[in-house]
Structure 1
Amino acid sequence: MAGHDHGHTPAAWTGVTIAFIGFCVAGAFTVAANPLGFWAGMVIIVLGGVVGAAMRAAGLGMPKAQHPPQPQPQPAAQSQTQTQS
């Protein structure tokens, strides 16, 4: 993945860092048997996704032009006629 520069953007790093902090908070409060703290951690996790998406929309994510085109699957009828030719 390093060759494709996948996720090496400020938006990705910020979103993942915030979500990781949320997982740590939720995990700590799970061990402490505190449901309110657990749900606060879950809110932080969702906040990480929202912040990452907002930063991507602001232009701090990977531009869409850099995404490689995905190969389109061919229907079975077309692939059979191509192999018979």
Structure 2
Amino acid sequence: MLKKIAGAVALLGVGGFAHAQSSVQIYGILDTAVETMNHVGASSSTLTRMPNLSGSVPSRLGFRGREDLGGGLSASFTLEMGIAPDSGALNQGG
């Protein structure tokens, strides 16, 4: 009898794990610009550069996730940060 109960409990535990679902999304926006200037300086050379900020939309990188905990419960998170497109450094401040 004890073996039958232990087997039933084990099956219930496996069934709970089989229904749990999780998801993680990576998202963001990268706002960059390329600037070309002609006749720069005394040598009249051409300069091509990537400015730090194009001024349209701040670049950002984010992670969003959700885990089904079972029993109608779930846990979710959102992490988002500013990022510098030219160096990949994280931006400080807000």
TM-score category of the 2 structures, normalised to the smaller one: under 0.3
TM-score, normalization by structure 2: 0.26
Larger relative helix fraction:
1
Q: Which has the higher contact order (CA 8 A, sep 6+)?
A: 1
TM-score, normalization by structure 1: 0.28
